[in-house]
Amino acid sequence: MATSQQFLNPTLFKSFASSNKNSCTLCPSPFLQLKSASTIFNFKPLTSSSATIITRVAASSSDSGESITRETFHGLCFVLKDNIDTDQIIPAEYGTLIPSIPEDREKLGSFALNGLPKFYNERFVVPGEMKSKYSVIIGGDNFGCGSSREHAPVCLGAAGAKAVVAESYARIFFRNCVATGEIFPLESEVRICDECKTGDVVTIEHKEDGSSLLINHTTRKEYKLKPLGDAGPVIDAGGIFAYARKAGMIPSA
């Protein structure tokens, strides 16, 4: 069905990042108040055109003076279209796998995007493999609609994906990406999925104003991505609990 599933289920909406860039609507809990950080990045040049490269850089926060780690991603992209739901990301039959068990987590990664329709000729993870060669997923509107299970972002991270770039997200999927810290859910300002192809070589760079830039080296085009805002430091920390421990909101494990 071409109609967005958001209209079928009133609990599914586009990500909060689309509607409010300044306030922290991702984590409404009064116990977790997230502060925006003004950061400065200095990225190293990337030399490879095929392998996944993760460049870790230090970024200083003007609020606290602390040094946080941000990443820039370089590798192959896997392109999808609209309304990619959680059953396509990870079929329900694999919901019995427990992400906190290393063996189960690895299996989850091998089944990532296993529920895609057959007209997607390329498979995200080659049958028999445990990891994907694609480090960036590019999608259209309403990415991650469907159920609320956290297995969806976990399986993508377990497969080796580092970021999703989509036109918009279902609210619960976006929130689960932030809560788990598994993958960066970045929003595009234009419909990138119509201009990129699976296998294109791309780089995602972070800018000084908090926004990001997707560079397609195959087509020689660049696309500005929307800032993650308060969600960024949470994902950087490895998820909501890791962030809360680092910020002293809850005791360290």
pTM: 0.74
Residue 99 domain-assigned (yes or no): yes
Residue 253 domain-assigned (yes or no): no
Residue 24 domain-assigned (yes or no): no
pLDDT tens digits in sequence order for the chain, 253 residues long: 333 333 333 333 333 333 343 334 444 433 333 333 333 333 233 333 344 555 444 443 434 444 444 578 999 999 999 999 999 999 999 999 999 999 999 999 999 999 999 999 999 999 999 999 999 999 999 999 999 989 999 999 999 999 999 999 999 999 999 999 999 999 999 999 999 999 999 999 987 777 899 999 999 999 999 999 999 999 999 999 999 999 999 898 6
Task: Provide the domain limits for residue 82.
Answer: 72-247
Average pLDDT value over all residues in the chain: 79
Number of domains in the chain: 1
Residue 230 domain-assigned (yes or no): yes
* Closest to 236 measured CA to CA, from 101, 17, 37, 20: 37
Residue 48 domain-assigned (yes or no): no
Which CATH number covers residue 105?
Answer: 3.20.19.10
Residue 187 domain-assigned (yes or no): yes
Residue 98 domain-assigned (yes or no): yes
Residue 204 domain-assigned (yes or no): yes
* Closest to 218 measured CA to CA, from 205, 204, 201: 201
Say what the pLDDT of residue 47 is: 33
CA dihedral 237, 172, 170, 113 (to 10 degrees): 80
CB 238 within 8 A of CB 178: no
